[in-house]
Structures are given as C-alpha cells and as structure tokens.
Amino acid sequence: MSQRPGILADSAIAALFATGALHAEAELDADQIQPASLDLRLGAKAYRVRASFLPGPTHKVADKLARFSLHTVDLTDGAVLETGCVYIVELMEGLKLGHDMSASTNPKSSTGRLDIFTRVMGDYGQEFDVIPPGYEGPLYLEISPRTFPVIVRRGSRLSQIRFRAGHALLSEVSLLALHEAEMLVASDAPNITGGGIALSIDLEGREGDDLIGYRGKHHTGVIDVDRKAGYDILDFWEPIYGRGKGELILDPDEFYILVSREAVHVPPLYAAEMTPFDPLVGEFRVHYAGFFDPGFGHAEAGGSGARAVLEVRSHEVPFILEHGQIVGRLVYEHMMDKPENLYGAGLGSNYQAQGLKLSKHFRPD
C-alpha cells in the first residue's frame, strides 16, 4: 500500500481485511467495496431507544443500550422501522485501525434520498461519523426514518465508510488549480471559499420540462430499502414545477429532493464530499452530506458531468430559495492510489450522469 496521504482506494480497502484492520461476521457482498468506500451492513438486531446518544469517553455503546433500549427488533427476516423512532443496530463490520489511519462515515446516496437519518458511532466515541486513528471495536448505526417507514433486514446497506491516511484535503489554491485543469463543476467562475467549491440550486428545470423537484408525502406505505424500482413515484412524492418563477418556498419540516445547477466531475485520483452550506445564510440546509466517488460524472468512467441531488429541509420558519442560490460545497481529497474500478465504470452505479433523480427504489416515469 502506498504511504502517501490520501483516501484508500478499493484494492487497499480489500487489503484491510487481510491485515485484520477490517473484519466482518459474514463474507462480503460482491459489490460491497466501492471505488473509495465500503458499504456497511446491518446486523441481526435493532434496538429501539428512547433517544439518540453518544457513548462518551468512558462507555461502550452496549453500556448505553442497556440503559436506554426500549425493546429489540429481529431483523433476520426483515422488519419495519417506523418514522419518528430512533433505532441502534450493531453493524456486521468491525475495525482494528492502526494509529496512522482514521475513517469517516456517511449515509449512502439512496439512504439520504429516502430521508432516513443515519449516523455511525463506535465505543467511547464523542462524535458521530468520525472514527479516530487506532480505533478498535464494533461499529453501530443510528437509524431514524423521517418521512417514510422502511423495511430493513440483516445485511441491508444504509451507510458507508471511507478510510484515510494523513491529511488528504485539498487547499483552496490546489482546488482552484484542479478545477482549471479538470472543470470540477460546470462553472467558469467557481466560488471557492471555506475549503470547498460551491454548488447552487436549479429552480428552472430542464429545457421543455419545468419539473424542479419533489416533496415527500405523509402517511405513505412502507419502502423496502433492498427493493429496486419497486414503487410508483406518485405514491410517495409530490412533483414540484417551477412555472417560470425561479424560486421555491420551503415549508418547515418538509423534505425536498432538488438538484444542483452545476454538473459535477470527480477525477479518478480524487474523492469528494458534500458539506452543508453555512446555516447562518438562511433557515435551510442540505440535510445529508454525501460521498462522491472517483469517476463520478467523469468522462473516463462514461460520464459527462452529473448533477448533485440535494436533500433539503427548512427549519423553524418558511424560507424562499431562489434559482442559483448556494446550498452546499464540495470538498475534494487526494486518493492514495487510483481505484481499480471507477464510479459508473461497469459497477452498476445508480446515479452516474444523473440529473434530478429519486432513489433507486422508484420506477422511472
């Protein structure tokens, strides 16, 4: 494995199992290792808890579960997780990291698009989704469906983990140079501040189609997270049309699927992550951060730019979004090595060359 700083690629992630830094209670799924991340699988038991928690520096997660668990749910054959409830599930993968390696986690794209709030924690953890260097122990996933009740089972994959050695983040100077060489976002005058490159919202729609997004419906049926193209869009979503206004009023605590105005490119030797825009600029936020793998939207992987799908909520008060308003930033990190398989290059990737697109669970129009 290369020792230079960076995000571990697929072959290096596979090697972690050989060294014991990663272990799993069952053989890996054939497509579980992604170009720059590993999908994490649910174990067989979910604990319904009174409230979210962190274990803190002196406790294991199991200690807190003994205090806060209300009941357990057997996931072996599948079970419904209800909206508004908080569940903790031990994952099938565990870690024994060296002191030169850390990790971070994020919901998978499909998880965010279903408004399933998830975050990972480990024993003695004081932060969600951050795994410190040298961590040894199990991983647990907090799950809270927000809009739709969902069916999950042992082996369902809602979250993903990235491994990094050293400091891999590009500086603003390096980010601008990479954009000028590779056109990271489809903009001649990119807004690069705060360590990232800005993405803005598209509220005009495509030529000949003024569909600009979707709003989640209430009181729907359940969605099986492992069922692809199994549901009608209109049973779960209300389409939103721009009608030439170039603006959208976000209602408090409603869930919206929108899309970036700019197409995104992630070159093969880099990985990207979506970070929420500064909440001080308005009462809204992109609800879920997300990983963008090497090759996303890139010509080498069969892409010609792919827009970022955004999961958006307003808080406290209604808020007017306007076309072109900045809603998030992409930060880029170096890869340690080029992945053997890029996103979209024969991997069956669901969102290569995407525009406005719901999760893979819904049948195309």
Q: What digits encode the pLDDT tens for the residues 37-90?
A: 999 999 999 999 999 999 999 999 999 999 999 999 999 999 999 999 999 999
pLDDT of res. 343: 83
Separation CA 138–CA 347 (nearest Å): 28
**DSSP summary character for residue 54:** -
In the chain, what percentage of residues exceed pLDDT 90?
Answer: 76
Residue 317 burial (10 A CB sphere; 0-12, 13-18, 19+): exposed
What separation in angstroms does the CA of 264 have from each of 35, 171, 174, 209, 275?
17, 18, 17, 21, 14
Domains of the chain: 6-165 (2.70.40.10), 172-334 (2.70.40.10)
Task: Give the chain's radius of gyration (CA, Å).
Answer: 20
Tokens of 322: 């306007």
Interacting residues of 196 by C-beta distance below 8 A, sequence separation 6+: 175, 275, 329, 330, 331, 332
Separation CA 230–CA 226 (nearest Å): 10
Tokens of 342: 């890029």
Contact 119, 104 (CB under 8 A): no
Tokens of 95: 């870690």
Q: How many CB atoms lie within 10 A of CB 176?
A: 15
What separation in angstroms does the CA of 247 have from each of 98, 213, 240, 253, 357?
49, 12, 11, 18, 19
Separation CA 91–CA 112 (nearest Å): 18
Residue 329 burial (10 A CB sphere; 0-12, 13-18, 19+): buried
pLDDT in tens, 125-134: 999 999 999 9
Contact 339, 35 (CB under 8 A): yes
pLDDT in tens, 184-195: 998 878 899 888
Whether the predicted pLDDT of 2 surpasses 50:
no
pLDDT in tens, 158-174: 999 999 999 999 999 99
Tokens of 123: 């024993």
Helices (H), the chain: 10-19, 61-68, 109-113, 172-182
pLDDT in tens, 234-254: 999 999 999 888 999 999 889
Percent helix, strand and coil across the chain, each to the nearest 5: 10, 40, 45
Whether the predicted pLDDT of 360 surpasses 50:
yes
CA-based nearest residue to 123, from 155, 97, 147: 97
The H or E element that residue 262 is part of is strand 256-264
Separation CA 336–CA 196 (nearest Å): 20
Task: Out of 106-115, 199-208, 243-252, 293-302, pick the least confident.
Answer: 293-302
Whether the predicted pLDDT of 279 surpasses 50:
yes
Whether the predicted pLDDT of 32 surpasses 70:
yes
